[in-house]
């Protein structure tokens, strides 16, 4: 995705965020609190993410040398390897934390859906990991 396409995408996301936030304010009292909160949360999130990205893109457009350096940093193979390793390790840590939370919830007499949901997330992550291993083994 080039810079123009990226800018267009985040402008659309910013507009969507504004619309969602406006809807949350306009529909206050007409819709459930849960739906209003969801509109407000998603709208604010989209606005913040898109706004910061657009500001970054604007800054990079004014300073092309900095933008080039940023691109190099993003594509740099060592940085990519570091990012991928960090993602893998943090994903693994999160997976086992979820399992620990499941055991803890059993110990704390939490409703049954809590450990079941946690176990399902654990199993889903393991299945996805296995699927990706098989897929990458075929590709490489």
Partner 1 sequence: MKNRLEALRKARGIKQEELAEALEVSRQTIGSLENGRYNPSILLAFKLARYFGTTIEDIFIYEEDGI
DSSP string, 24-79: HHHTTTTS-HHHHHHHHHHHHHHHHHHHHHHHHHHHHHH-HHHHHHHHHHHH-HHH
Q: Does 126 bind partner 1 (CB under 8 A)?
A: no
Q: Does 86 bind partner 1 (CB under 8 A)?
A: no
**Binder among 78, 111, 112, 139 for partner 1 (CB under 8 A):** 78
- Shortest spacing between CB 135 and partner 1, in angstroms: 21
Binders of partner 1 among 44-73, rule CB under 8 A? Answer: 72-73
DSSP string, 110-124: --THHHHHHHHHHHH
List Cβ<8 Å contacts ≥24 apart for 115-123.
122/95, 122/98
Is 72 or 124 the residue whose CB approaches partner 1 more closely? 72
Question: How many chain residues interact with partner 1 (CB under 8 A)?
Answer: 7
Q: Does 9 bind partner 1 (CB under 8 A)?
A: no
Q: Does 76 bind partner 1 (CB under 8 A)?
A: yes
Residue 2's SS3 state is coil
Place of tokens 């739906």: 35
Q: Does 28 bind partner 1 (CB under 8 A)?
A: no
| CA distance linking residue 36 with residue 3, whole number of Å | 34
Is 33 or 65 the residue whose CB approaches partner 1 more closely? 65
Kindly list the residues in this chain that would bind partner 1 in the complex (CB under 8 A). 72-73, 75-79
């Amino acid at each position: 995705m080039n810079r123009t396409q990226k800018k267009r995408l985040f402008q659309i996301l910013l507009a969507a965020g504004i619309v969602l936030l406006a809807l949350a304010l306009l529909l206050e009292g007409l819709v459930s609190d849960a739906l209003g909160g969801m509109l407000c949360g998603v709208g604010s999130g989209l606005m913040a993410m898109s706004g910061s990205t657009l500001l970054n893109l604007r800054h990079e457009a004014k300073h092309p040398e900095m933008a080039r350096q940023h691109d190099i940093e993003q594509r740099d193979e060592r940085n990519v390897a570091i990012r991928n390793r960090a993602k893998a390790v943090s994903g693994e840590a999160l997976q086992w934390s979820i399992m620990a939370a499941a055991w803890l919830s059993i110990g704390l007499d939490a409703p049954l859906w809590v450990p079941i949901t946690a176990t399902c997330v654990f199993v889903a992550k393991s299945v996805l990991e296995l699927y990706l291993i098989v897929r990458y083994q075929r590709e490489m």
